[in-house]
A and B are shown apart, each in its own frame.
Chain A
Amino acid sequence: MGGLSLNYFLYLLQGMGWTVALTLLAFALGGLAGFLVMLARISPVPAVSRATAAYVQVIQGIPVLVILFIVYFGLGILEIDVPPLVAAGLSLTAYTSAFLGEIWRGAVEAVPRTQMEAAECLALTRWQALRDVILPQAVRIATPPTVGFLVQVLKSTSLASVVGFVELTRAAQVINNSTFQPFLIFGTAGLMYFVLCYPLSLWSRTLERRLNVGRR
């Protein structure tokens, strides 16, 4: 026995590819939805802001795994056939949208109120002020925690293994079921996760340091 055969390694690598794909999917869709969540949270219409706050509270108050079960099995009972990728993508999108929405709202609110005031005093509309004055400053503030959260999303994709989507964790399970070398197999999978996550964490920290220097 000994090492990991090339075939198994390639199988893990393929799983890793799906992990990345699922992460990007959740991040892209969740980012889009999160942007809307942020806009709704800062809306001057109280009903909009409050309804969105409720959505965020609900999503943040439920484990991603449970959201995934609700989507996968719940919709299944309604005779809607949900492929594992779609179920995992939807759940992670919801999860990502709630958290990114809050991170970005925090960033927007961290821009001094006087900036919006100055823009409005120059006769800019609220939208123009948001786009040209507030958001560019908020992006700077939001980038480090956003990249940091990307790591969370990436690790959360391992939950998709539960509904049978063959990403990295599921691939490792499959191999282990026939080789019974959990330490080697899951160790390798863990290393692959680390290889993906660690650079992101480093990057996030670098960005944060640069931001603090820029602000003095």
Chain B
Amino acid sequence: MSAVVRLRDVHKSYGAVEVLKGVSFEVASGEVVAVIGRSGSGKSTALRCINRLERIQSGMIEVCGRRVDDAALDLRALRQEVGIVFQSYNLFPHLTIEQNITLAPRRVKRMAQREARELAAEMLAKVGLSEKIDAYPEQLSGGQQQRVAIARSLAMSPRVMLFDEVTSALDPHLTGEVLRVMEALAKGGMTMIVVTHEMGFARRAANRVIFMHMGRVWETGPSSILSNPQTPELKDFMANEL
């Protein structure tokens, strides 16, 4: 019962195109899972199905004991358990960093303004951006904006965090600061599913690696499979990553 996220035989199509062809995996509490694979293999779709940005055609998804595939799901309750960070940060440009972080706690959890500001300060300290609390997103670098996006998500105290290629839009010299935040989060016991091309991060921080290929979980195991792939497809993929 310790699985926070559970997918069983998930099928997802866009029109006639089947993007997920029977995906199954589980993520235990406190586990950090890196999801790797070629572009178009269905990684983003899998994440989007987990917090029901996308509906699935068949199969089962469970998050914290909630059936995500159930039409009667309490969507907002699910979204409070699941945080997600995208490649494109998606901060709210008209709000300050503090307002970006406190909007959801104030609206959804009815938190008082002062308490919310303290929460924002605490979350910003976690991502090393305390001094930016009154800045606007456009005044921040990409790496800083992405760290704010992480802080914004954390402020809702999610049970699991999803990351979709969060460093892919960043200049190489800015990826490190974001990855360090994520590694600290992993060490702190957060349950994380991380879609990434950063093999270094997968090796250092992931308890487990899932290699997706053509809409399927093609190979999975501890991060050692990165050095010792069992399938020719993963071997091929790793050869191209280097």
Q: Once the chains are docked, how many angstroms separate the CA of A121 from the CA of B83?
A: 7
Structural contact, A124 and B90, CB atoms closer than 8 A: no
Structural contact, A123 and B156, CB atoms closer than 8 A: yes
- Residues of chain A lying within 8 A (CB to CB) of residue B108: 122-124, 128
CB distance from B149 to the nearest CB of A (A): 8
Structural contact, A133 and B79, CB atoms closer than 8 A: no
Does A81 touch B at the CB level, under 8 Å? no
Structural contact, A137 and B94, CB atoms closer than 8 A: yes
Structural contact, A133 and B88, CB atoms closer than 8 A: no
Q: Once the chains are docked, how many angstroms separate the CA of A121 from the CA of B78?
A: 9
Structural contact, B94 and A121, CB atoms closer than 8 A: no
Of the candidate stretches A44-52, A112-120, A152-160, A163-171, the one touching chain B is: A112-120
- Residues of chain B lying within 8 A (CB to CB) of residue A119: 92, 103
Considering only CB atoms and an 8 Å cut-off, how many residues of chain B contact the other chain? 23
Q: Once the chains are docked, how many angstroms separate the CA of A136 from the CA of B99?
A: 13
Structural contact, B92 and A118, CB atoms closer than 8 A: yes
Give chain B interface residues in 73-132, CB to chain A under 8 Å: 76-77, 79-80, 82-84, 86, 88, 90-94, 103-104, 107-108
Interface readout for B174-200 with A: 1 if CB under 8 Å, 0 if not? Answer: 000000000000000000000000000
Give chain A interface residues in 87-140, CB to chain B under 8 Å: 112, 114-115, 117-125, 128, 132-133, 136-137, 140
Structural contact, B53 and A121, CB atoms closer than 8 A: yes
CB distance from B165 to the nearest CB of A (A): 14
Structural contact, B88 and A123, CB atoms closer than 8 A: no
Does B147 touch A at the CB level, under 8 Å? no
Structural contact, B104 and A123, CB atoms closer than 8 A: yes
> Which chain B residue lies CB-closest to A216?
B138
Interface residues on A, range: 10 to 19
CB distance from A140 to the nearest CB of B (A): 7
Q: Once the chains are docked, how many angstroms separate the CA of A124 from the CA of B103?
A: 9
Q: Once the chains are docked, how many angstroms separate the CA of A122 from the CA of B94?
A: 17
CB distance from A80 to the nearest CB of B (A): 46
Does B153 touch A at the CB level, under 8 Å? yes
Structural contact, B88 and A124, CB atoms closer than 8 A: no
Q: Once the chains are docked, how many angstroms separate the CA of A136 from the CA of B103?
A: 14
> Which chain B residue lies CB-closest to A113?
B90
Structural contact, B79 and A136, CB atoms closer than 8 A: no
Which residue of the partner chain, among B80, B90, B94, contacts A118 with CB atoms under 8 Å? B90
Chain B interface, DSSP helix/strand/loop, else mixed:
mixed
Q: Once the chains are docked, how many angstroms separate the CA of A124 from the CA of B110?
A: 11
Structural contact, A115 and B90, CB atoms closer than 8 A: yes
Q: Once the chains are docked, how many angstroms separate the CA of A137 from the CA of B80?
A: 25
- Residues of chain A lying within 8 A (CB to CB) of residue B103: 119, 122, 124, 132-133
CB distance from B179 to the nearest CB of A (A): 21
Does B220 touch A at the CB level, under 8 Å? no
Q: Once the chains are docked, how many angstroms separate the CA of A137 from the CA of B156?
A: 24
- Residues of chain B lying within 8 A (CB to CB) of residue A133: 92, 103
CB distance from B54 to the nearest CB of A (A): 11
- Residues of chain A lying within 8 A (CB to CB) of residue B12: none
Structural contact, B94 and A140, CB atoms closer than 8 A: yes
CB distance from A141 to the nearest CB of B (A): 11
Does B152 touch A at the CB level, under 8 Å? yes
Q: Once the chains are docked, how many angstroms separate the CA of A132 from the CA of B100?
A: 10
Which A residues are within 8 Å of any B CB, using their own CB? Answer: 112, 114-115, 117-125, 128, 132-133, 136-137, 140
Return 16 A-B CB contacts under 8 Å, by A number.
Answer: A114-B86, A115-B90, A119-B92, A119-B103, A121-B83, A122-B79, A122-B103, A122-B104, A122-B152, A123-B76, A123-B79, A124-B107, A128-B107, A133-B92, A136-B94, A137-B93
Instruction: Please name 19 further chain A to chain B contacts, defined as beta carbons within 8 Å, in addition to the given A118-B86, A121-B51, A137-B94, sorted by A numbering.
Output: A112-B90, A114-B88, A114-B90, A119-B92, A120-B53, A121-B53, A121-B82, A121-B153, A122-B108, A122-B153, A123-B76, A123-B77, A123-B104, A123-B108, A128-B107, A128-B108, A132-B103, A133-B92, A137-B92
